[in-house]
A and B are shown apart, each in its own frame.
Chain A
Amino acid sequence: MSLLEIKDLHAGFEGTEIVNGVSLTVNTGETHAIMGPNGSGKSTLAKVLVGHPSYEVTQGSITYNGKNLLEMDAEDRALAGVFMGFQYPVEIPGVNNAEFLRMAYNAKLVHKGEEEVDPLDFDEILDEKMKLVGMDKKYKDRSLNEGFSGGEKKKNEILQMAVLEPKLTILDETDSGLDIDAMKVVAEGINKLTHENNALILITHYQRLLNYIEPQFVHVFSGGKIVRSGGKELAHELEAQGYDKVTAPAK
């Protein structure tokens, strides 16, 4: 059974259709890169996968672990192991970063029928995870994303991925706005967290992230659908030739 099966998905925002018939299968252990020009529908697909209330699905189906994902609320999808690293993570002043991570961690434990951990025990777990993703301990006491630079916000998303150990991770333009050094640290963290028992969908505009996180599959989005799929060489082709040429219909 595949982990994620998207079949002929049509979805939009305020009456405008943006995703125009997307079909995609992701199996455990796979890394899929989704690339495409701005406005091609990549982010919309991501938001539909995590259950953003502003986007409506007009046609098609999404099956996750054999279950109908579209019938699940955002929090239930998260508890079932779906995680999205946002392109623009929201700032939440007054919510302590470490405390929030503990609440999310405990929500998962309770869902699995296990006991919650107390703040002291969680502190040890968090220290380990922060080391893994290369994040300074000072971010424990900060308010969630408040005043974080772009790079720090993205790292904080990867830290959450480390804490929650999702089965399916969707990273929406995690590399956008990062300089090369920050991107390398983020990529290193992601690589440590992906293995044969989970799967990763990397949405990226730029090819360079794929030098550090190797995908098995690359899909090119245009006009709300996948117009080409291939292996990692497709990413190099895109870099060399640009989106227009690669997505032009074959003559």
Chain B
Amino acid sequence: MEKTEAPETAVLALHKQFLGEDRAKAPLRPVNEAGIRRFETLKFPHRKHEMYTFVNTHELAGTSFELAGDGPVDAAWVQDRIYPACQHSVMVFVNGAFQENLSDLSALGEAFKVSCLSDAVADDEIKHTLLDLLENENDVFAAINSAFVHHGVLIDIPAKAIFDVPVQMLHVSTGTSSGAVTSHPRLVVRLGETAELKMIVTTTGTRENYFINAVSDFIVKDGAGVTYTQVQKDHAESWHCSKTRVQLHRDARFFGRNASSGNRLTRHHYEVRLKEEGAELLLSGASVLVNQEQVHNFIRIHHEAPHCTSIQRFKNVINDKGRSSVDGTVIVNRGAQLTNSDQLINNLMLSNDAHSDIKPNLMIFADDVKCTHGTTVGQIDENQLFYLKTRGLSQALAKSLLTTSFVNSLIQTIPFPDVVADLDTVLMKKLEA
């Protein structure tokens, strides 16, 4: 039967039901209520919404979701998806809920402090991150996450802590054969001064028909650094929204990379504030899209202090009827002198029906800055193809080499060999004709 009600109604009804359930946690209730109020104000995006110009969320908004349960998942299935380097530094989440029995943090030691958000919200800074920031939350899906957040973790890393191995956050969504389910993973990571963390987030699903809607906050104190890689390898018939919000203090660093396989809709939203001098940001994304897969990157970078650097690098290979967009705005506040900002977006289109949108944007309010941006959209370079053929490579091999090297040049910058190897299957195999 065709839906005649506004799509918001279903969310509100689900929320009412959720608040009455055991899983809703009392300490997070203020967040849930502020979240749903914010959702009611924002509503699902209309077609001309500035943040969703290139992203059609109608199908997603119009789908009725139930809240995903606890699983179950097959332990062996999960084990296969834990990277070799992270065997003893992995947190497994099923539908957003941390599974202690499937996880192993023994290689990380005491400095890797994990607590439930329902306990952590008592901390002023965490409360500010979860609650106060909601007032100005402009992403409706992040508002929905807050409305439904009940499990979620805080990772508190003390000053000077450094770990030998990366930690893997393995998110498993249990899909369904009929109907659709949604989960709302929530993560806050706080690093003390000069601490360092390497984190890999993988999102995957057992089967189709799920919507994973995640929000992660990174509070990076003076001199601390995060190397963060997302591997989006969800089921092709699923939806994925992730908002990553980063606050960088003095001389802090965030090197964020994503490698996305795409699905019905994947949207990565990055909101980064370089709050104090010397902060440094890298955001890069690589995707290979076939069939009707979609990956969208929405980036807002705020230079709020002088002497900060932000670099964006995105490469998308789009085949069949795939759709991709990169909407990246850099805002340089008055006083953020000697800002250095650079953005490069390259898209390779392999079919006539492939679609890509790119919107680089600079808003500069300081007068002594270096801000550059560049974009290329094209097909395989015929001169490069010919050159390879004159060396004896067949048309098919030459084409394959050019397309893999296009995206490989970004994947090879991921500092986790296990991830690079995984992406051989997740992304590179999709390039084979």
Q: Is the CB of B392 closer than 8 A to any CB of chain A?
A: yes
The CA-CA distance from A6 to B386 in the complex, in Å, is 23
Check if A160 sits within 8 Å of B391, measured CB to CB: yes
Residue from A78, A95, A108, A164 within 8 A of B389 (CB atoms):
A78
Interface residues of B in 402-426 (CB under 8 A from A): 402, 405-406, 408-409
What is the minimal beta-carbon distance from A115 to any residue of chain B, in angstroms?
16
Please indicate the chain A residues that have their CB under 8 angstroms from the CB of B387 in the complex. 86, 89-90, 92
Check if A78 sits within 8 Å of B384, measured CB to CB: no
Check if A79 sits within 8 Å of B392, measured CB to CB: yes
Check if B386 sits within 8 Å of A52, measured CB to CB: yes
What is the minimal beta-carbon distance from A73 to any residue of chain B, in angstroms?
7
What is the minimal beta-carbon distance from A195 to any residue of chain B, in angstroms?
21
Interface residues of A in 89-107 (CB under 8 A from B): 89-90, 92-95, 100, 103-104, 107
Q: Is the CB of B379 closer than 8 A to any CB of chain A?
A: no
Check if A90 sits within 8 Å of B392, measured CB to CB: no
Please indicate the chain A residues that have their CB under 8 angstroms from the CB of B382 in the complex. 53
Check if B409 sits within 8 Å of A94, measured CB to CB: yes
User: What DSSP secondary structure best describes chain B's contact surface?
Assistant: helix
Check if B390 sits within 8 Å of A50, measured CB to CB: yes
In the complex, which residue of chain A has the Cβ closest to the Cβ of B403?
A94
The CA-CA distance from A86 to B392 in the complex, in Å, is 15
Chain A, interface residues (CB within 8 Å), range: 20 to 34
Q: Is the CB of A226 closer than 8 A to any CB of chain B?
A: no
Please indicate the chain B residues that have their CB under 8 angstroms from the CB of A90 in the complex. 381, 383-384, 387
Check if B406 sits within 8 Å of A108, measured CB to CB: no
Q: Is the CB of B397 closer than 8 A to any CB of chain A?
A: yes
Q: Give a binary string over A52-96; 1 marks a CB under 8 Å from any B CB, 0 the rest.
A: 110000000000000000000111011100011010011011110
Residue from A53, A94, A103, A107 within 8 A of B386 (CB atoms):
A53
Q: Is the CB of B375 closer than 8 A to any CB of chain A?
A: no
Please indicate the chain B residues that have their CB under 8 angstroms from the CB of A143 in the complex. 405, 409
Residue from B381, B389, B408 within 8 A of A75 (CB atoms):
B389
Residue from B389, B390, B405 within 8 A of A92 (CB atoms):
B405
Q: Is the CB of B372 closer than 8 A to any CB of chain A?
A: no
What is the minimal beta-carbon distance from B348 to any residue of chain A, in angstroms?
11
Please indicate the chain A residues that have their CB under 8 angstroms from the CB of B57 in the complex. none
What is the minimal beta-carbon distance from B388 to any residue of chain A, in angstroms?
8
Q: A53-B386, A103-B397, A107-B397 are in contact. Are A93 and B405 (CB under 8 A)?
A: yes
In the complex, which residue of chain A has the Cβ closest to the Cβ of B383?
A90
The CA-CA distance from A79 to B393 in the complex, in Å, is 9
In the complex, which residue of chain B has the Cβ closest to the Cβ of A80?
B392
In the complex, which residue of chain B has the Cβ closest to the Cβ of A86?
B387
Q: Is the CB of A137 closer than 8 A to any CB of chain B?
A: no
Check if B384 sits within 8 Å of A92, measured CB to CB: yes
Check if A95 sits within 8 Å of B402, measured CB to CB: yes
Please indicate the chain A residues that have their CB under 8 angstroms from the CB of B138 in the complex. none
In the complex, which residue of chain B has the Cβ closest to the Cβ of A105?
B392
Check if A164 sits within 8 Å of B392, measured CB to CB: yes
Q: Is the CB of B394 closer than 8 A to any CB of chain A?
A: yes
The CA-CA distance from A237 to B389 in the complex, in Å, is 38
The CA-CA distance from A78 to B386 in the complex, in Å, is 11
The CA-CA distance from A143 to B408 in the complex, in Å, is 12
The CA-CA distance from A89 to B402 in the complex, in Å, is 16
Q: Is the CB of B99 closer than 8 A to any CB of chain A?
A: no
Q: Is the CB of B401 closer than 8 A to any CB of chain A?
A: yes
The CA-CA distance from A89 to B383 in the complex, in Å, is 10
The CA-CA distance from A53 to B71 in the complex, in Å, is 57
Residue from B381, B384, B386, B393 within 8 A of A104 (CB atoms):
B393
Q: Give a binary string over A165-190; 1 marks a CB under 8 Å from any B CB, 0 the rest.
A: 00000000000000000000000000
Q: Is the CB of A111 closer than 8 A to any CB of chain B?
A: yes
The CA-CA distance from A93 to B401 in the complex, in Å, is 11
Q: A90-B384, A103-B397 are in contact. Are A78 and B391 (CB under 8 A)?
A: yes
Footprint of B on A, CB under 8 Å?
Answer: 50-53, 73-75, 77-79, 83-84, 86, 89-90, 92-95, 100, 103-104, 107-108, 111, 143, 160, 164
Footprint of A on B, CB under 8 Å?
Answer: 381-384, 386-395, 397-398, 401-402, 405-406, 408-409
Starting from the known contacts A75-B395, A100-B388, 15 additional A-B residue pairs (CB-CB under 8 Å) come to A74-B386, A75-B389, A75-B393, A75-B394, A78-B389, A78-B391, A86-B387, A90-B384, A94-B405, A94-B409, A95-B401, A95-B402, A104-B391, A107-B392, A160-B391
Which 4 residue pairs of A and B lie closest in terms of their CB atoms, listed nearest first? A94-B405, A94-B409, A78-B392, A107-B392
* Pairs across A and B, CB under 8 Å, 15 listed: A51-B390, A53-B382, A74-B389, A74-B390, A75-B392, A75-B395, A75-B398, A78-B391, A79-B392, A84-B390, A86-B387, A93-B409, A103-B397, A107-B394, A164-B391
